[in-house]
Amino acid sequence: MSTPATLSRFLIAALLYAAIAGCGASSSSSSGAGSSSSSSAATQAAPPASTTPSPSVTSGPVHGALRAAGHTPVAGHPWPYSVHVTDANGKPLSGTVDIEFAFNGSVVGHDTPPTHALKEGAWQDKLTFPSTALGYPLVFQAVVHTSAGSVTLGWPVTVHP
C-alpha cells in the first residue's frame, strides 16, 4: 500500500516538472484525447505523451481492465483499485504491473515499490493520496507486462478534500 509520503514525493516531482516545463519552452501541438487500446503487435508500448491511456484494452494479445473507486479520490483516505488481465481467449495472465503517475502526459512518479506481481490475471491495492495532491489532473497508470505482451492502462484522477 502506498503511503502519503510516497505520493507527496511524486507530487513534488510533478510540480517541479510543471514549473520547469513552463519556463522558457514553448511549443504548439494539437492533440486530442486518444486511446492506445488497439494493437495487433505482441507488445504494446506506453502511449506517446499526447495521448491518455485507456482504462481497458480489448484487442490484441493482451486484454486488460483497470477499475477504481471513481475519478475523485479523497485526500487521506484509501482509494481502492484493481487490474485484471487475460489473453485474447479470456485466460488469466500472470506477470507484473508497474504503477506510475502522469501529469500533463509525462510520467512523474511511481508507486513504492513500483512493480507488483500479477497473479492469475489480477492485482488489487489501495492508495492514499496526500492533501498536496488536491486539484491536480493526474493519470494513474498501470503498465502490465506478461509473456503475451504489455499494455498501459490509464485512469484520470483529481484529488479532492
Nearest CA among 130, 62, 51 for reference residue 97: 62
CA dist 28 and 150 (Å) reads 31
Model-level pTM? 0.71
Spell out the domains of the chain, with CATH numbers in brackets.
Answer: 4-24+35-158 (2.60.40.1940)
pLDDT value of residue 36: 30
Find all residues with CB under 8 Å of 142, minimum gap 6, and list them: 64, 66, 81, 83, 97, 98, 99, 123, 152, 153, 154, 155
In the block, residue with C-alpha cell 504491473:
97
pLDDT value of residue 108: 84
pLDDT value of residue 6: 52
CA dist 45 and 99 (Å) reads 15
pLDDT value of residue 139: 96
Pair 34, 152: CB distance under 8 Å: no
User: Which residues of 4-148 form beta strands (DSSP E)?
Assistant: 56-57, 62-68, 78-87, 95-103, 106-118, 122-128, 137-146
Please give the average pLDDT of every successive group of 10 residues along the chain, which has 161 residues.
Answer: 53 43 30 28 37 85 96 96 97 97 90 94 93 91 96 96 95
pLDDT value of residue 1: 55
